[in-house]
Each structure stands twice: as C-alpha cells, then as structure tokens.
Amino acid sequence: IISNEELKRLNAVESAFESPESIAKAIGNAAKAVVTVGPGENGPSTAVTALDALKVVQGAELAGVQHVVLIYEVAVTPVSTYNVLDGLSSFFSNIFSFNQELSLPELLAKVAETEIGYTLIKANLADDYSPESSYNVVIRPEGSAAQDDYK
C-alpha cells in the first residue's frame, strides 16, 4: 500500500472531524490517506465513528487524494460469522445510509460512485498481544493459497 519511497514522505495529521473541508486542508496534497474506524480507535477527543470516516473520505476527495485505506475493527459488527463481508456491509451501511441496511450490490454501487480508489482492511488483530512469530497473516496474490494460510 505504501512503498519504501513513499514511507520517507509519510506525514501523519490530526483532525477533529469538523467538516470535509477542514479535513481536506489537513490532508493537503497527499496522494493517499488512511482512516481507522472502530470502538478502539480514538480521534482527538472521542472514538472514530463511521460518520467521521465518511467525512475523511469526503475530505480526501476534496483534497484530490487518489487512494483511501479504510481499516475497521471486527467490533464494528455486533455479531460476526468471521466473514470479511460482515464488517464491510455494516461499516458501509452506516457510512452511506446512516443506519439503513444496504444489500451488498447497493453497497458496492455506493463505493463505485466515488472517484477515489479504496482498500478495505478488516482488522481483528488490533488487540492481539501475542508474539509476532505467532501471527498467521499471509498475503498472497488473488487465487493462490498455501496449505497453512488458514490456521
């Protein structure tokens, strides 16, 4: 998502989520933006909500950002079947329709309406304090899998 060269130019900014315009000003001329959403993610004064994330996406679009990474916690979904679409559907239902449930096709249509590229990351390792050697996260090209990928 971020190359070694881009990492040298990484700039973290803080925003109070007042408006998309104020967020766009904080983002500046960045090409990429990252926002984390969930009960364990704290903004300047409160937890980062789906509405805050929507303001970040809108601000990023105003700032001319090309790519937004949305990281959301499993806890965003009250009941999970451990399917990545559980959190995704709930997360975007809250962002785009303000608590009105959307079907998956409606959800994808809303995402496709924007001009920004997205990467969605469902993070359930945020509170895992196990040694790094015990993590079983494997990233491979789409369509490929190895025997130990799904522990």
Q: In the prediction, which pLDDT does 95 show? A: 54
Pair of tokens at residue 104: 């998956």
For 15, residues 6+ apart whose C-beta sits below 8 A from its C-beta are 22, 23, 26, 43, 44, 56, 59
Measured distance CA(83)–CA(144) in Å, rounded = 19
Cα–Cα distances in Å, from 147 out to 130, 131, 141, 151?
22, 22, 15, 9
Q: What is the pTM of this model?
A: 0.57
Asked whether the predicted pLDDT for residue 3 surpasses 90, the reply is no
19-50 confidence digits (pLDDT tens): 989 999 999 998 888 887 755 555 555 667 66
Q: In the prediction, which pLDDT does 97 show? A: 45
Check if the beta carbon of residue 35 is closer than 8 Å to that of residue 51: no
76 or 129: which leads in pLDDT: 129
Sheet strands side by side (includes 67-73): 47-48, 32-42, 67-73, 117-123
Pair of tokens at residue 14: 């803080």
